[in-house]
Amino acid sequence: DKAKAQIEDTWAHEGGDNKPEAFEPGKGFAIMYIPKLDVVVPIAEGISKPKVLDKGMVGHYGEGKLKTAMPADKQGNFAVAGHRNTHGEPFRYINQLRPGDPIVVETKSAYYTYEMASILPQTSPSNVSVIDPVPKQSGFKAPGRYITLTTCTPEFTSTYRMIVWGKLVDERPRSKGKPQGLAG
């Protein structure tokens, strides 16, 4: 909650300028909503356990060979990691998501609504193809605008990874208000 409030406060004080958003490692830059699971969690740059994940935030794969797209990119895969147990456990119940369930990412300038498309219940931690621009095993066949959620499985272990994929279905400026799934 504190990190979410800090992000919102930063947006409020930066005003409505259209400067590109700064993405510093460990700093929150967006907020993820998974309405079906009652999840509201900050997204920070990087997947460092001590700087991001262990602080209860979701981390964006944004560095080196694991660099993935940002929501505003016109094509690519916005891939994030989050804990399933402990540290706020933002991805504890992502296995309960079903095709069509919304996953919303709010940035300083826009809301990006993705619809859950598919799940890979278990894969090796070394299977980095799941965060490719067109993620393997996702069912997506062509370039598009995707989201990938990664977490450990089974619960209370880090033996394997569970993967949930979604496809962008709506992008709206924050000035137009919250998307339908979040309104109210």
Contact indicator for 110, 171 with CB cutoff of 8 Å:
yes
Is 83 annotated as catalytic?
yes
Is 161 annotated as catalytic?
yes
Q: Identify the helix (H) or strand (E) that includes residue 34.
A: strand 28-34
Q: Could you tell me the two tokens for 171?
A: 């992008």
Q: Could you tell me the two tokens for 75?
A: 């094509």
Q: Which residues of 78-106 are buried (b: 16+ CB within 10 A; e: fewer)?
A: bbbbbbbeeebbbbbebeebeeebbbbbb
Q: Which of 87, 92, 152, 172 is catalytic?
A: 152
Is 152 annotated as catalytic?
yes
Q: Which of 60, 83, 84, 145 is catalytic?
A: 83
Q: Which of 84, 92, 161, 174 is catalytic?
A: 161
Active site residues: 83, 152, 161
